[in-house]
Amino acid sequence: MLNPSRILFLVRHAKSSWKDLSLADHDRPLNKRGVKNAPLMGQRLARMTHRPEIVISSSALRALTTAKTLAPYVGIDEEDVVVDPDLYHAGSRDIMRIVAGLNDRYQNVMVVGHNPGITQLANQLGGEPIANVPTCGMVVIRFETNQWAAVSSAPSTLLEFDYPKKDP
């Protein structure tokens, strides 16, 4: 029997660098603050009751670095992070399409992407207004359904909204 709920971790990539203006946007790395904040949020993630079983990331370097930093904190090898190029610059509708297509064998899934899509989707699905998901911010939402395809219309509960500057 499938579990009657699904939990979605929406994560905005950690702070990225604008130092090298010759780099394409897709290739921007994390800056010092991003390199510091990603492990901090990984530690907080490791203390949560629920943990993702799979991590799906945008192909952008800053998102993929964030995802690969967070994954080991929940027992996922960084090599097992799934890259989905469609998450790069994805709006909330695009992210929702990816979520709706997830395999139902996964109960808890993390998606690492970009704003404004992450904040927009968190607001659409979480039921509580969030003005902005900051860099390396994480929104965790539980849905009362056993199918990812049904999360957009399922009853939901915002379980967690955490970010680096929030008091632990």
Per-residue confidence in pLDDT tens, the chain, 168 aa: 456 899 999 999 999 999 998 999 999 999 999 999 999 999 999 999 999 999 999 999 999 999 999 999 999 999 999 999 999 999 999 999 999 999 999 999 999 999 999 999 999 998 889 999 999 999 999 999 999 999 999 999 999 999 999 976
Q: Give the CATH number for residue 132.
A: 3.40.50.1240
pTM of the model: 0.95
Domain range for residue 138?
A: 6-162
- Give the span between the Cα atoms of 120 and 124, in whole angstroms: 6
Tokens standing for residue 104: 């139902």
Other CB atoms within a 10 A radius of the CB of residue 85 amount to 12
Residue 43 lies in a domain: yes
- Give the span between the Cα atoms of 99 and 104, in whole angstroms: 10
Structural domains in the chain (count)? 1
Q: What pLDDT is stored for residue 100 in this prediction? A: 97
Residue 1 lies in a domain: no
